[in-house]
Amino acid sequence: MTSPLTHFDAQGQAHMVDVAAKPATHRIAIAEGRIEMLPATLALIASGSAKKGDVLGIARIAGIMAAKKTSELIPLCHPLALTRVAVEFQLKEAGNTVECRATVETVGPTGVEMEALTAVQIALLTIYDMCKAADRGMTISGVRVLEKHGGKSGSWQVEG
């Protein structure tokens, strides 16, 4: 029986998957996550008066940069020519959270799920870094792929 884990060869050794024979298709992945904080910290972010500056603007750029560097961070990821990276935020007073959503696109032989997940994680970590002087108890959670499109497996999205 062969393993469903594609990053291991028949001997169980880790390897980079060969995607040379796969056709280039338009690929999209959308990921999300959130960071929960004190109400006062959320107010600082919303007002733009955080000591280190525009928290969401800096976090957006960090997320975009992270998506472009994913293959340098995750050992077996392929370097990809990304055609689009969008990082968006929503402030939710009800739960004292900032929600982050990243959409990443390419035309190529492999998907961009890892790039979308990396963009979300680094954007949220940047928010933490910029606000930690005000709130060290922030919590990052719910990071996941919401949907992906393209490639042999087609489209997939979270149910519900």
Q: What is the DSSP letter of 23?
A: P
**Which among 77, 72, 69, 67 is positioned nearest to 19, based on CA atoms?**
77
- Residue 4 has φ and ψ, to the nearest 5°, of -75, -5
Asked if 135 is an active-site residue, the reply is no
Catalytic residue among 9, 18, 54, 129: 129
Please state, in angstroms and rounded to a whole number, the distance separating the CA atoms of residues 149 and 110.
11
**Which are the catalytic amino acids?**
129
